[in-house]
């Protein structure tokens, strides 16, 4: 790979990433509640913004929102799966 190709690839990747970020922000704007317990997500709440977790599954083009309570549950489930 020469320098020109590398530069072309880098700019290409940059564009792609920018697209990905933009589309995940779009997806985030559509999120309204926890995907597990359906508790409403308050976009204006700073506490919610800091404590809720967004998982982006770029392959499935899916974004999942977890409230703090469900994050704990998900972590527990993961631990159990990993132990088995
Ligand atoms: Zn929840």
How many CA within 13 A on the CB side of residue 77?
6
Q: Is the pLDDT of residue 48 over 70?
A: yes
Domain boundaries, the chain: 3-83
**38 backbone φψ class: left, alpha, beta (φ>0; ψ -120 to 50):** left
pTM more than 0.75 = no
Mean pLDDT of the 36-42 span:
94
Q: Nearest CA to 21 among 68, 60, 56? A: 56
- The alpha carbon of 14 and the centre of ligand 1 are apart by a number of angstroms equal to 34
**Residue 52 reports pLDDT greater than 90:** yes
pLDDT above 70 coverage of the chain, percent: 86
How confident is the model at residue 43, as a pLDDT? 85
CA of 84 to the centre of ligand 1 (A): 25
Distance from the CA of 68 to the center of ligand 1, in angstroms?
7
The pLDDT of residue 23 is 66
Average pLDDT, the chain: 83
Ligand 1 midpoint to CA 64 (Å): 11
């Amino acid at each position: 790979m020469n320098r020109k190709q590398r530069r072309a690839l880098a700019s290409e990747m940059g564009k792609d990433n920018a697209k990905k970020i933009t589309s995940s922000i779009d997806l985030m704007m559509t999120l309204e509640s926890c995907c597990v317990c359906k508790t409403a997500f308050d976009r204006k709440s700073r506490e919610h913004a800091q404590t809720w977790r967004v998982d982006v599954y770029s392959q499935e083009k899916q974004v999942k929102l977890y409230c703090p309570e469900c994050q704990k549950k998900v972590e527990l489930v993961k631990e159990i799966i990993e132990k088995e």
